[in-house]
Chain A
Amino acid sequence: MSQVNAVSLTEKEYLLPGNRLCPGCALSLAYRHILKALDGRAIITVPASCLTVLHGMYPVTSVTVPCVNTPFASVQHQLPGWWPA
C-alpha cells in the first residue's frame, strides 16, 4: 500500500452519514478516516465495544466494508482463521 496522508485520502466515503454513536463522539471521525486510508481494501472485525454500536442495528449499517462482529476475546482470532481459509 502506498503512503497515504490527510491530503491524498480518497474522496470516497466508506462510513455513511448517520450512526448510533453519541452525538459528537470522535470515534466516527477517526473510523471514517481509517476506512478512507484503507480505501475499502479491508475486512473489519470488531469486539463488543462502541464500535459495535457505531456499526448499527440489524438490518441497517452505515459501514460499507465487510465486517464480523465478535465477542471480546475472539476478535484477534478472526485473522488466523480467515487467512489460511
Chain B
Amino acid sequence: MTETNTAGREPHDQMLDGNRAAAIGAKLCRVQVVAAYPITPQTPVTEALSEFVERRELPAQYITVESEHSALAVCSSASLVGARTFTATSSHGLAYMHEMLHWVAGTRLPVVLACVNRAIGAPWNVLNDQQDSISQRDTGWIQIYARNNQEILDSVIQAYKIAEKTYLPVMVCYDGYILSHTEMPVEVPSQDAVDRYLPPYRPHTVLDPGNPKNYNLVTLANPRANAEGVLCHGYMEIRYLLQEALQKSRETISAAGQEFGELFGRGYAKLLWEHRMQDAEIAIVTMGSLALEAVVAADALRKQGAKAGVLGLRVFRPFPGRDIAEALRRCRLVVVFDKNVSYGNEGATCNEIKAALYGSGTSAAVSNFIVGLGGRDVKARDLADAVKGALSSLERGALSNECAQWICEI
C-alpha cells in the first residue's frame, strides 16, 4: 500500500501511479463532496478517495451513485450550495455525463473532473486514446492534458484555482494505463503549501429560503424585462458570457500556473510546452503522454540532421491558437499526431491547429497522423518515421494536406 499521509509540512517524493496522483491532488485541495462511479481505468481514483474518506484522512462526503450521470448531478448540486466537489470518469462514463457536462458549465459551477482517457465503443476497448474527452470539447469545460503523473497532481490543484476564479468547470485529462496505472516519482506538496495556494471556495450562489432564487429557468433567446422593468439577459447573452469566460480564462490559467511555480517550483505559465522549438523547422505536435515519445523522436531526428522540435498542447480548451501560431511561425513542416478522430474530417487537434495558422502568415505545411487508437502502441520510431515520410513528401511537392493518415495496417 502506498503511503497516503499528505499532512506533512514538507513536500515529499512518492512513487505514484496517475490515478493515485489525481486522488491525492483532490485530497490536498480538501474536496468536500466526491461523487463518482467506477469505470476502467478510472476505478482506482474512486477507491483511493473512498479510502481517504473512510480513514478520516479527508473530511469529505463520498456519495455512491448508480451512474456517471448521477455522479455529475450530485457534484453539480453540491457545488451549487457551496461545496468543493470532485469526480472522475473515463470513456463511456464521460459520454454518459454528456448532458450534465453542458448543465454544469451552463450553471457556471467550478466542478473538477479527472478524465482518465480511454477509447470508446463500439467495439469494446478499455485501453487508451483521447476520443472520450475530445468528444466533449464543446460542452464549455476547460480541458487540461497531463504529460506525466506529476502534471496530473499539479493540474488537479491548479484546476480548483482556475475553476473557482472563473466559475468554469475543469477537466483534467490523462492517458489511461500509460499514466493511470504506471508508477513514477511524484513530488507531493505539503498540505500547508496547498492551503496557501488555494483559498476556500466561495459559491456564486446560495440556496436560501430567506432569499429565494430560481435557477436555470426557461430563458428566451432575447433579453426580457424583470418585474422592475430592468432588461435582463436572454439565452444568447448568457451563452455569450460562458464563451467570454472561456476566452478570458487563458489569463487565469496562466496566472494560476505562474503562481503554482512560485510556490512549488514547477511553473505552468504557458498553455503549451516546447522542446527544442527555438530553431525548429519541423514541429511534432502532440497532447498528453505522447510527449515522451515525441521528445525522443525529435532528438533522434536532430541526430539525423533534421531540425525538429516538439510543441505540446497542455490546454485544449480554451484553445491557445495565437500561442500555437507564434510557436510554429518559423516552421516549414508541422506534423500533428492525434489520438482521436473527428470522423469524416481529421484529428481534432490538427483541425484546430490549421485554423490557428490561417491568416498567421506562416507557410508551414501541415500533416496529420492518427495514432494509438484503442491502446495501439505508439513508439518514438513510429513518430520519427511518420515525420520523415511527411518531409520527403513535402520535398517532392507531394504532401497531401487533405486527409489524415492512419498509422495502422490498412
Measured CB to CB, the residues of A under 8 A from B are 40-43, 45, 52-53, 55-61, 63-71, 73-74, 77-82, 84-85
Which residues of the partner chain A approach B219 to less than 8 Å between Cβ atoms? 57-58
Q: Which of A41, A58, A73, A82 contacts B232 (CB 8 A)?
A: A58
Query: Would you call A81 and B209 a contact (CB within 8 A)?
Result: no
Query: Would you call A57 and B220 a contact (CB within 8 A)?
Result: yes
How would residues 86 to 101 of chain B score, 1 for a CB under 8 Å from any chain A CB and 0 otherwise? Answer: 0000000000000110
A65, B207: Cα distance in complex, Å: 9
Q: Which of A61, A64, A65, A77 contacts B73 (CB 8 A)?
A: A77
A70, B69: Cα distance in complex, Å: 12
Given contacts A55-B214, A74-B70, A77-B73, contact A66 B61 (CB under 8 A): no
9-residue interface stretch from B75-83, B239-247, B265-273: B75-83
* Residue B74 is within 8 A (CB to CB) of chain A in the complex: yes
Which residues of the partner chain B approach A60 to less than 8 Å between Cβ atoms? 224, 226-227
* Residue B208 is within 8 A (CB to CB) of chain A in the complex: yes
Query: Would you call B209 and A65 a contact (CB within 8 A)?
Result: yes
Which residues of the partner chain A approach B75 to less than 8 Å between Cβ atoms? 81
Q: Which of A56, A66, A81, A84 contacts B213 (CB 8 A)?
A: A66
Query: Would you call B83 and A74 a contact (CB within 8 A)?
Result: no
How would residues 45 to 83 of chain B score, 1 for a CB under 8 Å from any chain A CB and 0 otherwise? Answer: 000000000000000010101000110111111111111
B contact patch SS: mixed
A85, B22: Cα distance in complex, Å: 22
How would residues 188 to 215 of chain B score, 1 for a CB under 8 Å from any chain A CB and 0 otherwise? Answer: 0000000000000000000111011111
Which residues of the partner chain A approach B1 to less than 8 Å between Cβ atoms? none
* Residue B253 is within 8 A (CB to CB) of chain A in the complex: no
Given contacts A42-B209, A71-B103, contact A80 B218 (CB under 8 A): no
A56, B197: Cα distance in complex, Å: 42
Query: Would you call A67 and B215 a contact (CB within 8 A)?
Result: yes
Q: How large is the interface on B (under 10, 10 to 19, 20 to 34, 35 or more residues)?
A: 35 or more
* Residue B33 is within 8 A (CB to CB) of chain A in the complex: yes
Given contacts A55-B214, A55-B217, A81-B78, contact A74 B103 (CB under 8 A): yes
Task: Tell me how far the C-beta of B231 lies from the nearest C-beta in chain A, rounded to whole angstroms.
Answer: 9
Contacts A53-B218, A80-B63, A84-B32 known; 10 new A-B pairs at CB < 8 A: A57-B219, A57-B224, A59-B225, A66-B208, A68-B207, A74-B72, A77-B77, A81-B74, A85-B82, A85-B85
Given contacts A53-B218, A57-B217, contact A84 B63 (CB under 8 A): yes
The residue on A at minimum CB distance from B235 is A58
Which residues of the partner chain A approach B216 to less than 8 Å between Cβ atoms? 68-70
A43, B199: Cα distance in complex, Å: 28
A selection of 8 A-B contacts at a CB cut-off of 8 Å is A57-B218, A58-B218, A69-B217, A73-B73, A74-B72, A74-B73, A74-B100, A81-B85
Task: Tell me how far the C-beta of B237 lies from the nearest C-beta in chain A, rounded to whole angstroms.
Answer: 11
Q: 9 tightest CB-CB pairs across the interface, nearest first? A: A81-B77, A74-B73, A84-B61, A85-B83, A77-B73, A81-B78, A59-B232, A85-B78, A59-B226
The residue on A at minimum CB distance from B208 is A66
A60, B217: Cα distance in complex, Å: 9
Which residues of the partner chain B approach A65 to less than 8 Å between Cβ atoms? 209, 212
Task: Tell me how far the C-beta of B233 lies from the nearest C-beta in chain A, rounded to whole angstroms.
Answer: 8
The residue on B at minimum CB distance from A43 is B207
* Residue B105 is within 8 A (CB to CB) of chain A in the complex: no
* Residue B35 is within 8 A (CB to CB) of chain A in the complex: yes
Query: Would you call B212 and A64 a contact (CB within 8 A)?
Result: yes
Query: Would you call B80 and A81 a contact (CB within 8 A)?
Result: yes
